[in-house]
Each structure stands twice: as C-alpha cells, then as structure tokens.
Chains A and B, each alone.
Chain A
Amino acid sequence: AQSVTQPDIHITVSEGASLELRCNYSYGATPYLFWYVQSPGQGLQLLLKYFSGDTLVQGIKGFEAEFKRSQSSFNLRKPSVHWSDAAEYFCAVGRRGNTGKLIFGQGTTLQVKP
C-alpha cells in the first residue's frame, strides 16, 4: 500500500536560516508528488508538484524540492526562511492512472524563531 512518511513532526529554525523538510514515500512506481502548506485555520495551499522530468522542482514562496528515486524521497527546501513561513507542511503522493486521490504524510509543523 502507498504510504508517506514525514519523519519530523516539529521543526524550529531561526529566521534567515535554511530549511529542509523530509518526505519519504512507499510506492511501486514513480508517483505524483506534492508539497502543501497549511497556515492556522486555513485550507491547504499547493507549494509545488512533481509529475515527471527535471527532478528539481521550483515552487511558490521560494521553495524547491528534489525527487530522488533511489531514496524514495521528495524533500522540501528553502535557502532562507521568513517568519511568515511558520505553518504546517504536508507531503502527498498521488498514484498515476488512479483517480487522483492523494495520500498525505502526517505533516511537519515549522516554527520560526526571530
């Protein structure tokens, strides 16, 4: 069965520091991969997605993610974090040729210290 693991439940970084949020998935083939962000009381906003092609994808708000097939990973990165990035981040997997329903990780809460 498909699964998504976000090993870090909570991460704290200082403003201006770099950020990496980890995501590992379990799936028999290359899935569709997504990162969403959820601010308190808000719905989910798509940060970026990977369908095929270049394994380094750029998203909104200065985020990027790299698909590594050999490691079954899709880690999210940002070179310099802003206080407004404090939120919960979800990695999600969609199966090709399926209905498109997403399987989500448990989420990582990002706290930004001034």
Chain B
Amino acid sequence: GAGVSQSPSNKVTEKGKDVELRCDPISGHTALYWYRQSLGQGLEFLIYFQGNSAPDKSGLPSDRFSAERTGGSVSTLTIQRTQQEDSAVYLCASSPGQDGGSYEQYFGPGTRLTVT
C-alpha cells in the first residue's frame, strides 16, 4: 500500500515568512509524529498525535512551531516567522500502535526546508 507522503519535497523561503509542511500518514495509522533532522542536532522529536488525545508537544523548539491533525489523518506543521536555524529536513512518521502497543514507525521522505 501507499506509504507516508509529505509535501512539498523542497521548500525555500525567506527569513520571516511562514511555511506549512504537510504529511499524509499511512491509511489506518492512529499515531503520527514529526521529527526534524539537521546537521548539528541530528534527529529530534517535535510532536506526536494519537487519535483524539491531546498531542505531545514537548519537542517543539519554540512557540513559532505548531501542528495540527485534521480528522485523525492529514497533519500540517506550521513554522511562523522562519529563522535560518529552522533550515532542516522535516520528517513525518506514522504508526499503527496505540499507547503501549507497537512503536514501529514508518517514515515519509521528508521536506527539506531552506530559510534564506
């Protein structure tokens, strides 16, 4: 079946502009994660959605970052007033498991964000 998809694959934006990154998880997966991959920081957890529960936002680096998940499926990560340090690859993953269940995560190809 179809895997996790992300769009756009590449995004170049000017400092100070807002950007939206989209993630389509695998159909039927209840859990959705956003991670950031950058040269200096490696792979960092950003936010986690599970069903209708309140999201775990503990990894968001600042209040310029927010995410939502509509209808338990598609998710959008929004970065406001982008800064150069936001340049990174943003990875989305989904998992079929609930809390205490499988944590096997399937990753999308990522969105490469470049802030100029």
Interfacial residues, chain A to chain B (CB-CB below 8 A): 32, 34, 36, 41-46, 49, 51, 90, 92, 94, 96-107
Give 20 new A-B contacts, CB below 8 A, not counting A51-B102, A97-B99, A104-B42: A43-B91, A44-B107, A46-B106, A90-B43, A94-B103, A97-B100, A98-B99, A99-B56, A100-B33, A100-B48, A100-B99, A100-B105, A101-B45, A101-B48, A101-B56, A102-B103, A103-B45, A104-B35, A104-B44, A107-B43
Within the complex, which residue of A41, A42, A100 is in contact with B97, where a contact is CB–CB below 8 Å?
A: A100
Chain A to chain B contacts (Cβ below 8 Å), 16 pairs = A36-B107, A43-B108, A43-B109, A43-B110, A44-B93, A45-B107, A92-B43, A97-B99, A97-B100, A99-B48, A99-B56, A101-B59, A104-B42, A104-B44, A107-B42, A107-B43
Q: Mark B70-107, 1 if CB is under 8 A from A, else 0.
A: 00000000000000000000010101010110111111
Residues of chain B contacted by A103 (CB below 8 angstroms): 45
Residues of chain B contacted by A90 (CB below 8 angstroms): 43
Q: How many residues of B contact A (CB 8 A)?
A: 27
Q: A44 CA to B42 CA in the complex, in Å?
A: 13
Which 10 residue pairs of A and B lie closest in terms of their CB atoms, listed nearest first?
Answer: A104-B43, A100-B103, A43-B107, A44-B107, A94-B103, A101-B45, A43-B109, A106-B42, A99-B56, A99-B48
Q: A107 CA to B100 CA in the complex, in Å?
A: 27
Q: A58 CA to B105 CA in the complex, in Å?
A: 17
Within the complex, which residue of B43, B103, B110 is in contact with A32, where a contact is CB–CB below 8 Å?
A: B103
Most buried by A among B50, B91, B93, B103: B103
How far apart are B103's CB and chain A's nearest CB, in angstroms?
Answer: 4
Residues of chain A contacted by B4 (CB below 8 angstroms): 43
- The closest CB in chain A to the CB of B55 belongs to A99
Residues of chain A contacted by B104 (CB below 8 angstroms): 34, 46, 49
Q: A29 CA to B96 CA in the complex, in Å?
A: 24
